[in-house]
Amino acid sequence: MSRARIGFILNGQPVQVEALPGMTLLEALRGPLGLSGPRFGCGEEACGACHVRIDGDSHPCCALPAEVAAGRSVQTVEGLGDAVHPHPLQRAFAAEQAGQCGYCLSGILMSAAALLETNPAPDEAAVRAALEPHLCRCGAQNRIIRAVLRAAEERAA
Amino acid sequence: MNLAYSLATGGAQAAHPLPGSLAVQPRLSRWLRIAPEGEVTLTPGKVELGQGILTALAQIAAEELDVVLERIRLRPAATPDSPNEGVTSGSLSVQECGMALRQACAEARAIFLSVVAQRSGVPVEAIRVEDGDFLGPEGKLGSYWELAGQELLEADATGRAAPKPAAAHRIVGRPVPRLDLMDKLAGAPRFIHDLRLPGMLHARVIRPPARRARLMALREGALPPGARVVRDGSFLAVLAESETEAEAAAARIVSRAEWQVEDSLPEMAALPDWLAAAPAEESMVAEREAELPPAAHQVSARFFRPFLAHASIGPSCAVACWQEDALEVWTHSQGVYNLRADLALALRMPPERITVRHAEGAGCYGHNGADDVALDAALAARACPGRPVRLRWSRAQELAWSPHSPATVVRIEASLDAAGRLRHWRSEITGNGHSSRPGRAQSPTLLAAQYLEAPLPHPVAVNAPAKAGGGAQRNAEPGYAIPALHITLRRLTEMPLRSSALRGLGALINVWANESVMDELAERLGEDPLTFRLRHLEDARTAAVLREVAGMCGWRRGHKAEGVGHGLAAARYKGSGAWCAVAAEVEAAEVVRVRRLWIAADVGQVINPDGVLNQVEGGAIQATSIALKEEVAFDRRTVTSDSWERYPVLRFSEVPAVGARLLSRPEEPPLGAGECSMGPTIAAIAAAIHDALGVRPRALPFTPDNLAAAMEP
């Protein structure tokens, strides 16, 4: 198959990827780019597990052609922070123990990060609305909402 | 070594029977290893399913060894080295594995202590352990780490070392952050989906368009470069260098496969009738006779629940690699030994030639596709020995082809005497069994086995005996004082749709049905449902959780708002597990919405309070989803609810506020927490719907259609 060379900014660093025909952005991120944060859940943009930020907006990438990323800035959960230097959202999720199996969390964190950038002091309804595209089968939603509100409060403090 | 050990315990203490899984596998080195670098590695046979069990086990071990939690490492279960603890299920991990580790660590500590005492001449009683250092009156005498090379753990547990009393606990009983959570928040590779082995290929399986199907022909045609087809009878898979190419190849193969299909599933609209008519094996679950006063009030009702899906967020996935005649499999199965046994049957090879290693998956909530996909991967990988093959199911396969929790009908007749006391209770449960778990039958239960060139028949699902927690009959016996009762189980002996264990098993319908009948009996008397229950409770701990939840929600709320209702319910999970009471507030408009849940639970001694609360809350939210929305749909050939659109689950906007409390029982044995809130949640929601609308729900899910049907005479 012929490969298209795509360049974009991934978590602040320029990257190049050889995209196969039909390759989704999720496959590019998890395959040649070697990331684990964006997760496959459904392939139909219906569960939120694969959300990444594209030019700041939270978007599913499981059905998005990799070419769409060309020239844009893509952020994944790896770009928020790591265990040693966690992002305030990751810290707040840990503080609230907001998660069980954790499979849905990296997508949720991306929507939460996008929310806090446009609305630094959201109320509970705004958090629920921002997270509506995401499914959490373990039932950690209330903790997740509290974690996002906590992160917002800590940033404001 | 045993000499040193006997010095430590001096034989002064009588040996206790070994707890949990330690009785079967007493060798201490099977459970823990101590490394000179200052680490303790635990090797439990139970596995992390997203429930946080590893954290609780680490707390237990750190407590007994007197080391800080940060020194504890956990090695995922793998054959043949891990203790065989069967399946991680039934909310039994703390009881079976936790108590085994507690004793093993207490014995390990005693052995090391005795060696230090012997070498230093300082008596055992004068030595204390602080973060792995043994300290005498004059200072440090040694450490676990200095003695790590001595193979002191190559000894069997004797039951003579006594674990600490609860009052001495400093790590157990405290909320501890989940050890695995930060990795998952940071996107670190931790799931089986993230496993990347050198030379690994990607595979997809192609399922037939019907449950009963035969692959007749596969038309020739081009595939993406490097992609290939694997076929064994009606089992069909593709292999490729990348996920993209595997997806593309699978899509092409789907359109080239010619299947001969047959109808084999019942009419979905007539599922209760099918359950009544299907061949069944009848058994007595519980029977009690008594001289009875005449009945003054009687309630009889029929309850129905549909097939339910586990609906894991991450589709099932496995990696398999063949080297000559040996197979290595990475899996998120709940039981590595059970899976190995069925892989051996399906692949017709000795189990000793198969290594099965656990890797974490997304939350499974029971027996989902984890085991099935492991056979799929093994079959696909057989075509390219030496190369690891990662096979991941699609969303549609996860929802449609994982085993489902079986549809069930429960009929109950119950009566009160003239004094308003329960006198007789009769119930009959009809449905498929709740276990198709691997490793327990003559023929494998793994999905692909029945589609091979030499097919192996799929055993019909069974139920565990009631005293082992049961399946369909779980929680069928009400926890109330009832002089006479007859509970029968009709397990279907045909299984058109594969059924197996889902969180809560039969408790989901039985607790709801029992508690609904209790409400209806109370209503006949014009008595408050809480008072009526308490009057029939001899079990103080059920009464305690009920009183606690009543206090939390301000039962019974005086002013009643239009369309808003409250209900409560309680049960002791399995009759032998944790106690839980739930109160619900619903708002019934076009659809029912659950606004709030209050939960009180008694799980005995609590290892990790925040972990338990997380499980109890999560179970209640999953139960709310089941109560309001979930139903597996199918036509005569196959399951059609194969997307999130067709199998909707609770979303953020629909999740109720949840307040949960744990009763403090530090001196009682610890019990599992993951399933206890589910039955009472469904029951409390049903009661609240009746309070709001005056209708008793008779069929799950509590949708406008099902509630309208319940209103009809």
Where is the domain boundary, B183, B214, B247? B183
Chain A nearest CA to B460, separation (Å)? 28
| Chain B residues close to A24, C-beta within 8 Å | 244
pLDDT at B9 over 50: no
- Crossing angle, helix B53-65 and helix B99-120, to 10 degrees? 20
Predicted pLDDT of residue B467: 87
pLDDT exceeds cutoff 90 at B215: yes
Cα separation, B44 vs B171, whole angstroms? 19
Measure Cα distances from B311 to A108, B70, B396, B510 in Å: 18, 34, 10, 22
| Strand runs labelled E in B69-145 | 72-74, 128-130, 133-136, 139-143
The string of pLDDT tens digits covering residues B167-182 is 999 999 999 999 999 9
Query: Are B438 and B339 in contact, with CB atoms under 8 Å apart?
Result: yes
Same domain, B250 and B382: yes
Pick the last residue of a domain from B401, B423, B455.
B401
Inform me whether the C-beta atom of residue A126 falls under 8 Å from chain B C-beta atoms: no
Hey, is the C-beta of A72 within 8 angstroms of any chain B C-beta? no
Q: What is the pLDDT of residue B623?
A: 98
Tell me the residues of chain B between 605 and 644 that have a Cβ less than 8 Å away from chain A. Answer: 610-611, 614-615, 617-622, 625, 643-644
- Say which CATH number the domain at B150 has: 3.30.365.10
Q: Please check whether residue A90 is in contact with residue B186, taking contact to mean a CB–CB distance below 8 angstroms.
A: yes
Dmax (CA) for chain B in angstroms is 84
Say if residue A65's pLDDT is above 50. Answer: yes
Beta bridge partners of B206: B236
| B648 backbone φψ class: left, alpha, beta (φ>0; ψ -120 to 50) | beta
Instruction: Classify residue B439: in a domain, yes or no.
Output: no
Q: Residues B560, B455: contact at Cβ < 8 Å?
A: no
Last residue in a domain, options B140, B159, B183: B183
Residue B377: closest CA among B346, B408, B338: B346
Strands A4-10 and A73-75: parallel
Q: Are B655 and B621 in contact (CB under 8 A)?
A: yes
Strand-pairing partners, residue B204, are B238
Based on its alpha-carbon atoms, the radius of gyration of chain A, rounded to whole angstroms, reads 15
Q: Do A27 and B312 touch (CB under 8 A)?
A: no
Would residue B530 count as lying in a domain?
A: yes
Mark whether B149 and B205 lie in a shared domain: no
pLDDT, tens digit (0-9, with 9 covering 90-100), for B618-674: 999 999 999 999 999 999 999 999 999 999 999 999 999 999 999 999 999 999 999
Paired sense of beta strands B201-206 and B235-240, if any:
antiparallel
3-state secondary structure of B688: helix
Please tell me the distance in Å from B184's CA to the nearest CA on chain A. Answer: 6
Domains, chain A, in order of start with CATH, read 4-79 (3.10.20.30), 88-156 (1.10.150.120)
Which range of residues forms the domain containing residue B429? 284-289+404-434+470-711
Q: What is the DSSP letter of B607?
A: S
On whether residue B304 sits in a domain, the answer given is: no
- Closest chain B residue to A142 measured between Cα atoms? B657
Sequence-distant (≥ 6) Cβ neighbours of residue B330 within 8 angstroms: B192, B195, B318, B319, B320, B357, B358, B359
Residue B691 lies in a domain: yes
Q: Which residues pair with B572 in a beta bridge?
A: B579
Residue B142's φ and ψ, nearest 5 degrees, are 160, -175
Whether residues B137 and B24 fall in one domain: yes
- Residues from chain B contacting residue A104 (CB–CB below 8 Å): 313
Q: Is residue B356 part of a domain?
A: yes
Q: Per the structure block, which two tokens stand in for B43?
A: 């090797």
Would you call the peptide bond into B438 cis, given omega within 30 degrees of 0 as the criterion? Answer: no
Residue B401 pLDDT level (bands cut at 50, 70, 90): very high
CB A48 within 8 A of CB A107: yes
Contact by Cβ (8 Å): B226, B414: no
Nearest CA in chain B to A38: B187
pLDDT in tens, A91-149: 999 999 999 999 999 999 999 999 999 999 999 999 999 999 999 999 999 999 999 99
A137–B52 CB contact, under 8 Å: no
Residues B419 and B334 in one domain: no
- DSSP 8-state symbol, B188: -
Contacts of B224 in chain A (CB under 8 A): 1
Residue B59 touches chain A, beta carbons under 8 Å: no
Residues B578 and B600 in one domain: yes
Task: Specify the DSSP class assigned to residue B162.
Answer: P
Q: Determine the angle formed by the axes of helices A141-156 and A124-131, rounding to 10 degrees.
A: 120
- Residues B341 and B439 sit within 8 Å (Cβ to Cβ): yes
What's the total number of domains in chain B? 3
User: B489 and B353, same structural domain?
Assistant: no
Q: What is the CA radius of gyration of chain B?
A: 27
Q: Are residues B322 and B384 in the same domain?
A: yes
A107 at interface of B, judged by CB pairs closer than 8 A: no
Q: Which 8-state DSSP code applies to residue B309?
A: -
- Tell me what the pLDDT averaged over chain B comes to: 95
CB burial of residue B69 (10 Å; 0-12, 13-18, 19+): middle
User: Which one-letter amino acid corresponds to residue A45?
Assistant: E
Closest-CA residue to B587 (of B605, B562, B612) = B562
CB proximity B226 to A under 8 Å: no
Task: Please check the confidence at residue B46 and state whether its pLDDT lies above 70.
Answer: yes
For residue B180, list chain A residues with Cβ-Cβ distance below 8 A: 102
Distance of alpha carbon B100 from alpha carbon B93, whole angstroms: 10
Q: At what angle do helices A105-118 and A141-156 cross, to 10 degrees?
A: 40
Q: What is the DSSP string of chain A?
A: ---EEEEEEETTEEEEEEEPTT-BHHHHHHTTT---SS--S-SSS-S-TT-EEETTEEE--SSSBGGGGTTSEEE-GGGT--SSS--HHHHHHHHHT--SS-TTHHHHHHHHHHHHHH-SS--HHHHHHHHTT---TT--HHHHHHHHHHHHHHHH-
Say whether A77 and B395 touch across the interface (CB within 8 A).
no
Same domain flag for B357 and B423? no
Band the pLDDT of B150: cuts 50, 70, 90. confident
Q: What is the pLDDT of residue B713?
A: 63
pTM of the model: 0.96
The pLDDT of residue B13 is 55
ipTM value > 0.90: yes
CB distance from A137 to chain B under 8 Å? yes
- Rounded Cα gap, residues A70 and A57, in angstroms: 15
pLDDT at B391: 98
Beta strands A52-54 and A57-59, pairing class: antiparallel
Look at residues B687, B656, B660 and name the one whose alpha carbon lies nearest to residue B673.
B660
Chain B interface, best mutation among A3, A50, A82, A100, by max B CB count within 10 A: A100
Residues B214 and B161 in one domain: no
Q: For residues B173 and B259, state if they share a domain.
A: no
Per the domain annotation, does B80 fall within a domain? yes
Res. B558: pLDDT tops 80: no
Residue B5: per-residue pLDDT: 37
Assess B251–A contact: CB distance below 8 Å, yes or no: no
- Read off the pLDDT band of B2 (50, 70, 90): very low
**Shortest Cα distance, chain A CAs vs residue B244, angstroms:** 5
Give B97's DSSP letter: I
CA-CA distances (angstroms) from residue A58 to A23, A54, B577? 20, 6, 43
Q: Where are the alpha helices (DSSP H) in B366-506?
A: 370-381, 395-401
| Interval B483-509: pLDDT, tens | 999 999 999 999 999 999 999 999 999
Confirm whether B170 is domain-assigned.
yes
- Confidence at B556, pLDDT banded by 50, 70, 90: confident
Asked whether residue B254 is assigned to any structural domain, the reply reads yes
3-class SS at B626? helix
Res A155: pLDDT: 86
Q: Is the domain of B120 the same as that of B213?
A: no
Q: Are residues B582 and B501 in the same domain?
A: yes
Of all residues in chain A, the one with the smallest CA distance to B184 is: A102
pLDDT at residue B91, rounded to an integer: 85
DSSP secondary structure code for residue B98 in this structure = I
φ, ψ dihedrals at B639, nearest 5°: -75, 130
Of the partner residues A47, A97, A141, the one whose CB lies closest to the CB of residue B177: A97
Confidence category of residue B459, pLDDT binned at 50, 70, 90: very high
Residues of A in contact with B618 (CB under 8 A): 100, 138-140
Q: How many contacts does A have with B, using Cβ atoms within 8 A?
A: 184
Distance CA B545, CA B581 (A): 5
Q: Taking CB atoms and an 8 Å limit, are A142 and B180 in contact across chains?
A: no
